[in-house]
Amino acid sequence: MKSALITGSTNGIGFYTAKKIAENGYYTIIHGRSQELCESAVKQIITETGNKNVSFLVADFGNLSAVKSMSKKILTNFDSLDLLINNAGATFAERQEGIDGNELTLTINYLAPFLLTNALLPLLRNRSQDDAKARVINVSTLGSNDDAEVADESDINWDDIQTKVRYSLIKSYWRSKVLLNVFTFMLAEKEVNSNVNVNAVHPGTIRTNMTENIAAIGIIEDINALDTIEYGASRLLNLALSEKLELVSGKFFAHKQKELKTSKPNNEAREKLWKISSEHVQLH
């Protein structure tokens, strides 16, 4: 049986995506911060899909030690993993630092998936079906416009990765997703000869708990004009399940595959980010 882990999947896009993955016969692992919400999500998915192979893991991605603990549990209990969707994300109106000393948006949106994905690579490389590729999907952003350029290493603010200067919710969120994009492209290159494909996706500007929080401080004018959760999830599901995308890796998708800024990446900048990220999460 194929297996999948969807982070941040107790509500919103993550929950809907997890439910559809379960409908497709995967052993589905739910993740969230709240045990109560995780239990509720698992119960609902089992009831609505008839797939009893659904479980959950609780971890606060604002704490990298919790991410490491969650990774160890998965490594202990599973021999392979076919699908990893790094969906968990957060925004904060005021700058906050997590227990690790890193800015919290950076931690949850970038450092946590960087750590989790690297930790689970042995399982992804050992996917359950020899004739299929394991897939890693990083949920990123293009802002409010599908036609926007895809951010890459040329957009990294090396002097203020932790957003200490003139912090804003949008600035910290955007910067975290820039780093996630670069991680996507780098990991795809590193795994080019393995059985793991890695892509990023912009789900659209979706009405979720996160965007409602953003709207509450006046950044989004009309919350009712945003796309639906089902619409956003359909983009994730396309990457997760489409046979046509089986061999695609190192790309960015919105409603379709996006052109990247350059065909000649700055490998020095990418390696610099990998080194900094590895130090922050104590990746060995």
Whether the per-residue pLDDT at 234 is higher than 90: the answer is yes
Mean pLDDT calculated for residue range 225-229: 74
Q: What is this structure's pTM?
A: 0.94
pLDDT at 174: 95
For the cut 60, the answer to whether the pLDDT of residue 81 exceeds it is yes
DSSP annotation string for 224-253: GGSBPHHHHHHHHHHHHH-GGGTT--S-EE
Residue 262, pLDDT above cutoff 90: no
Contact 138, 180 (CB under 8 A): yes
Domain locations along the chain: 3-281
Report the Cα 5 to chain-centroid distance in Å: 11
Quick one: average pLDDT of 27-32?
99
Q: Is the pLDDT of residue 207 over 60?
A: no
Q: In what order do the strands lie in the sheet with 134-139?
A: 54-58, 27-32, 3-6, 83-86, 134-139, 196-201, 252-253
How far is the CA of 176 from the CAs of 95, 129, 277, in angstroms? Answer: 13, 33, 12
- Residue range 230-252: mean pLDDT, rounded: 95
Which CATH number, 3.30.70.120, 3.40.50.720, 3.20.20.70, 3.40.630.30, labels domain 3-281? 3.40.50.720
pLDDT number for residue 129: 76
The single-letter code of the amino acid at 26 is: Y
List pLDDT tens digits, range 158-187: 999 999 999 999 999 999 999 999 999 999
